Structure formats: structure tokens, C-alpha cells
């Protein structure tokens, strides 16, 4: 699993304490047009992957909610072709990872999953929705929606635990207004992949 350093504890606790607006799963739909802008204006293509990260709680009711999410995803798989996998990482966080070449299917499915957690009273357990993009087939970029901050921010890893800040600011400038972007850069937390070129949830 990707190395998160200490940012995930901050990602969950400090971000919630300092939140300036309530997260709204409808915010996710801003990504619908952002997919087109990323490709047309910036040369980033849909990587065919998205993920929902959440913190678990040891209760039967929460386990039932996770099972409900899985059932919804399984039911939708035949309609959309969106496949999924679920697992927990070494830091105690859980992931629902989606695969689909159609960005609209990815977006709709991740919204359904997030909305189910919220409807069942577990919206506070949601940490992030992560949308992956590729350039030249190997260079990944991400738009991360922080449920604790109610905003998106860009993340572009480069090499071994380095960030391409220039690329991130470029994404911010082009998508500002199309997405609700986190204004405070201290909350642009990295979700490092375990290996260069990998994905954060691997």
C-alpha cells in the first residue's frame, strides 16, 4: 500500500476541525466536465480508475453499510461495466477502487457509493474520492476530493516522493471555477503510491 507518512492522520483530523464548508457528494459531479477539460486543454486522459477512501469503524451496522455499498456496485456492474475491488491498507484505511474506461460511469458509481455512506449516517467516515488521469501513458495526475474540506485539489507525483508543483498549479489555474478547489494549499495532501508510476491505492 502507498506510503502516506503522517498526512492521513492530519487528513482525517485537522482537516475536519478546520473545515470551511460541509462536504456535499453533489460536488463530485463537477468532475463530469473536468474530464473533458483535462483532455482537451491539458493533454491528460482518463486513466479508467477512481477510488473512494474511508475510515472503518468496528460495528456490525457499519459492516452492513459496506456490504450494501458492495451490493450496489455489483448490481450496477452489469449495466455500466464498472468493476470494483475493496481492500484495507496498512494504515487502517479502506478503499473502494473502480475500473471503467467511461469517466461518466466512474463518476456516477463513486457518487452512489459515497451517497450510501452518507445516507446510512457514516458520511464522517469518508476521507477522499480520487480520480486518476494519465499523460503519455505513464505520468499520473489526480484530482482528489476531500470530504473533510468539501473541496478538490490536484496531486501530481513525480519520481520517488516528489511533487510536480508546476503541473499542480497549472491544473488549479485551468480548472478553477469548473471545480470547487481548495484555496489553502496546506490541505493539498499527497497520497503517495508505493512505487513510482503506481496508484495510491495499490
**pLDDT per residue as tens digits for the range 12-45:** 545 444 545 566 888 999 999 999 999 999 999 9
Apex 10 CA angle, 165 and 96, nearest 5? 85
Query: How many domains would you assign to the chain?
Result: 1
198 assigned to some structural domain: no
Structural domain range at position 159: 7-182
Residues 89, 94, 100, 103: what is their CA dihedral angle, to the nearest 10 degrees?
Answer: -120
80 assigned to some structural domain: yes
57 assigned to some structural domain: yes
197 assigned to some structural domain: no
54 assigned to some structural domain: yes
Query: Is the pLDDT confidence value at 9 over 50?
Result: no
101 assigned to some structural domain: yes
200 assigned to some structural domain: no
Q: The CATH number of the domain where 104 resides is what? A: 3.30.70.1130
Kindly report the pTM of this predicted structure: 0.89
16 assigned to some structural domain: yes
Amino acid at each position: 500500500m502507498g506510503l502516506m507518512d503522517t498526512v492521513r492522520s492530519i487528513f482525517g483530523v485537522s482537516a475536519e476541525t478546520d473545515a470551511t464548508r460541509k462536504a456535499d457528494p453533489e460536488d463530485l459531479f463537477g468532475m463530469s466536465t473536468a474530464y473533458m477539460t483535462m483532455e482537451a486543454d491539458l493533454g491528460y486522459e482518463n486513466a479508467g480508475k477512481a477510488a473512494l477512501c474511508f475510515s472503518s469503524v468496528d460495528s456490525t451496522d457499519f459492516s452492513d453499510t459496506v456490504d450494501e455499498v458492495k451490493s450496489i456496485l455489483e448490481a450496477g456492474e452489469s449495466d455500466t461495466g464498472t468493476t470494483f475491488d475493496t481492500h484495507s491498507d496498512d494504515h487502517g484505511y479502506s478503499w473502494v477502487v473502480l475500473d471503467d474506461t467511461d469517466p461518466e460511469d466512474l463518476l456516477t458509481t463513486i457518487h452512489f457509493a459515497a451517497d450510501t455512506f452518507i445516507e446510512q449516517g457514516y458520511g464522517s467516515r469518508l476521507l477522499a474520492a480520487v480520480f486518476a488521469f494519465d499523460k503519455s501513458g505513464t505520468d499520473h495526475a489526480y484530482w482528489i476530493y476531500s470530504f473533510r474540506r468539501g473541496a478538490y485539489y490536484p496531486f501530481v507525483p513525480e519520481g520517488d516522493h516528489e511533487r510536480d508543483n508546476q503541473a499542480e498549479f497549472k491544473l488549479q489555474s485551468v480548472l478553477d471555477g469548473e471545480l470547487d478547489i481548495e484555496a489553502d494549499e496546506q490541505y493539498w495532501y499527497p497520497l503517495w503510491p508505493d512505487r513510482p508510476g503506481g496508484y495510491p491505492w495499490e
